[in-house]
Amino acid sequence: MSAYILRRLWQMIPTMLGVVLLVFFLFNYVGGDPAYILAGKISSLEQIASIRRQLGIDEPYYVQLWIFIKQILTADFGSSWATNEPVSQIIMTRIGPSLTVLVPMVIIETVLSVLIAVGVAYVRGSLTDRAVMIGCTVAMSVSLLVYIIVGQYVLAYQLGWFPVQGWGNSFWENLFKYSPLPILLGVAVGIAPNTRLYRTFILDEIHQDYVRTARAKGLSENTVMLRHVLRNAMIPIITNLMTYLPALLVGDFLLERFFSIPGIGREVIVAVERSDFPVVKAITIYVAAATMIANLVADLLYQAVDPRVELK
C-alpha cells in the first residue's frame, strides 16, 4: 500500500502543475490588469505603474509564474489586496467555521441518505418507495435559497428555536448555538438527491448474480441487504462523497453568507466582489489539492470497505 500511495502522490505533481498553469493563465490573461482594479477609476499612469511594480506584474510572464509556484510551495500567497491581511492567515481563520458546519452536515446527511436508501430499496416498487421518491423529487426542485429564507423566518424569527445569524469565539457555542440551523438546512437540501442516487447504487447491486446466489443459500433478506448489497454499494457511495466533499468548502457560500458564518465560502464571495485575486487564487489551489487528496482517500477506503479490492 505504501508503494501505491507514493505512486499516487507522484502522479499528482503533473496534475497540480496543470492546475497551476490554468489558474495562472486565467488570472493573468482573462482576469484583466489588477493594477487598474486597485488604482480605481481616478488614477494616473504613474500610480498604475507603481502598483504594477509592487505586485510584480511588470515582470515577464515566466518570472511571474515562478513567483506563483514559489508561493504555492511555501504556502505564502502574500497579502490580501483588500485588507492587507496575510492570505495564509485568512484561510487558517476561515477553515475552522466552515468545518464546524461542514463535518456534522456531511456525516448526518450521508448516514440518513444511506439508511433511507436501504429502506426504500428493501421495499422497492411499493407505495412507500414511490412516495419517498416523489418527495425527494419535490425537495430537489426547491432552491437552497428558499430553504434558507423559510428556515430563518419560521424556525429562527417566528419560533425562536435558533438564532437568525451570528458567530462567536467559542467552538462549542458555535457548534451548538449558531451551527444547528445551517446544518439542518444543508441536510434538508442534500438528503433528497443523495437518497435517490444511493438507492440507484443499491438497486444495481440487488440484481447482481451474487445476490441471487446468497438468497439461494438461504440467507435472510436483512443479511443479504446489509452484508452483501450495502457493502458493495458503498464503493460508488464513497466515490460520490469524496468527489463533492472538497467542493463543499466553497459550495455552501449561501449558508455562510446568510448566516454570517466567517467561512471559506463566504470569503470567496467577498474576495470575488473585491477582485481580491491572491485570496481567490490561494483557495482555488487548495481546493484542487484537496480534491486530489480526497480521490486518494477514496481509493484507500475502497479496500477498507471491500478487502477484495486490489490497489495497483
pLDDT at 253: 76
Using CA atoms, how far residue 258 sits from 22, 109, 151, 270, 283, in Å, is 31, 21, 11, 13, 21
pLDDT at 48: 66
Q: Summarize pLDDT for 3-22 with one digit per residue, the tens.
A: 777 887 888 888 888 888 88
pLDDT at 215: 76
Helix or strand run (H / E) with residue 243? helix 230-244
Residue-range domains of the chain with CATH: 2-74 (no CATH), 88-305 (1.10.3720.10)
pTM, two decimals, is 0.77
pLDDT at 40: 61
pLDDT at 1: 66
Can you list the pairs that 68-73 forms with residues at least 24 positions away whose Cβ atoms lie under 8 Å?
Answer: 68/20, 68/24, 68/281, 69/20, 72/20, 72/285
Cross-strand partners of 79:
86
pLDDT at 125: 78
Q: Summarize pLDDT for 105-160 with one digit per residue, the tens.
A: 888 988 999 888 888 887 777 888 888 888 888 888 888 888 888 888 888 888 88
Instruction: Give burial (CB, 10 Å; 0-12/13-18/19+) of 269.
Output: middle
Residue type, 236: P
**pLDDT for 59 beyond 80:** no
